[in-house]
Amino acid sequence: MNTNRRSFLKRNVLLSSSILLAGPVDALAKASRTIYTKSVNQKQVNIMYSNDINGAVNSTSQGFGGLKSLQTTINNELVSTLLLDAGGFLNFNRNNHTETIQWMNKVGYHAVNLSAADLKQGIDAFAGLLPDVAFDLLSCNYQFEHPKLQKAVKSYQVITYGKYRVGVTGVGETVKMAGLKVSDPVIALNKMAKYLKEDEACDLVVCLSHLGFDSKAKFNNRQLAEYTSSVDLIIGGNVLTGKNQLYALRNKEKNEVLLGTSHTGLQSVAQLTFGFNEHKINHQLDIKKHVPGVTNRAEMNEILFDQTKILKSV
C-alpha cells in the first residue's frame, strides 16, 4: 500500500475493537484501539476477503496470487474496501511468518481470524510474533491463558464505515493445545452476533470462520451458517485449495446468510458490495472476483473458470 493511500485511509473510517473476557458480553469494551480508513459511497459497504493465505507472499509459478500481487490489486481499486481474512495465514513449511505478517500489514488487513492452523508452533512461539502484527486478531471461541494473547486477540471489532456499523468476529476449529480453551463455535457466535446486532446496533455482522467444509466434521462453515442467527456474512476458510464461491444459505431462523470462500494462497479473492436504502436496509449485493497479479478481466475469468490452472500453481 503506498504512503498516500495509507494516510488517506487513516483519515476516514473508524474501527474500534474490544476484548471479550469469559464473563457476560455486556461487560466489555474496556480495551480498544482506533484505526481510520476511507468510505466513498455513503450507501454502500465494500468488503474484500481471503482465507488460507498460507504464507504466500510472492506470486505462484503461473504469475498470480500472493500478498505482493494483492497489494497491487487493492491499489488499483477505485473504492475503499474493508479487508478481512478467515485465518490460516501462516505456513510452517515456509517458515516466513514475520515476512507474511509484515506484508499483511502493508496490504492493509483490518481484521484476521486467529485459527489453530496459525498456532502450530505453539502459543509461546506465536506470542513472539505479536510485535509485528498491525491488524486485529479476532476470535470469540478461543480463550487464552497467555497474557499477551489475552490482550492481543479480541472477540470482535466494530467498524464504522461511513454511516454504517459493521461488526466482525471470528471462530476457530477445535484443537487440544496447552493454554487454549476452545468453546462451541455455534454457541459463541450466536451470543456474539446477537450482541453486535442488538447492543452495538451493527448494520452488518460478519464472521471469519476456519471450520472447514468437511461434511463429516462436528462443526463446519456450512453448519455454522445454518445453525446461527443475526449473521449476514460468513467468510469460510480451512480448505486445501478452495474455490471462489459465494453461497446463499438459510440460518436457523430461515433468514438468508451468505457464505463466501476463496482459493488458498491469495490465488483469488472476492469483493462484496452491500447496498443500503435510505432506511439502512440492505437491499442489493454485488460480487467482484479478483485474481491478484492479473489485470485483464478476460484472463481473470478464464483462470477462475479453469480450476486446473489454479491447481497447477499450488
pLDDT of residue 309: 67
Q: Exposed, middle or buried: residue 162 (CB in 10 Å: 0-12, 13-18, 19+)?
A: middle
Q: What is the pTM of this model?
A: 0.88
**Considering only CA atoms, which of 252, 15, 304, 280 is closest in space to residue 138?**
15
In-domain check, residue 10 = no
Question: Which cell numbers in the block locate residue 141?
Answer: 471461541
pLDDT of residue 41: 59
In-domain check, residue 78 = yes
Q: Say how many CA atoms lie within 13 Å of 14 toward its Cβ.
A: 7
In-domain check, residue 1 = no
pLDDT of residue 24: 40
In-domain check, residue 289 = yes
CATH of the domain at 289: 3.60.21.10
Number of domains in the chain: 1
pLDDT of residue 260: 97
In-domain check, residue 71 = yes
**Considering only CA atoms, which of 146, 91, 151 is closest in space to residue 314?**
91
Cα 62 from chain centroid?
Answer: 25
Q: How far apart are CA 12 and CA 36, in angstroms?
A: 5
Q: How far apart are CA 190 and CA 167, in angstroms?
A: 13
Report how far apart the first and last C-alpha atoms of the chain are (Å, whole number): 25
Q: Enumerate the H helices of the chain as residue ranges.
A: 3-9, 67-76, 97-107, 123-127, 147-152, 185-194, 221-227, 297-305, 307-313
Length of the chain: 314
Q: Interhelix angle for 97-107 vs 67-76, to 10°?
A: 0
pLDDT of residue 235: 98
10-residue averages of pLDDT along the chain (314 residues): 37 40 36 41 88 94 91 85 96 93 97 97 96 98 97 95 93 96 98 98 97 92 96 96 89 96 95 88 89 90 77 54
Its domain, for residue 170, covers 16-313
pLDDT of residue 303: 85
Q: How far apart are CA 286 and CA 268, in angstroms?
A: 17
In-domain check, residue 172 = yes
In-domain check, residue 3 = no
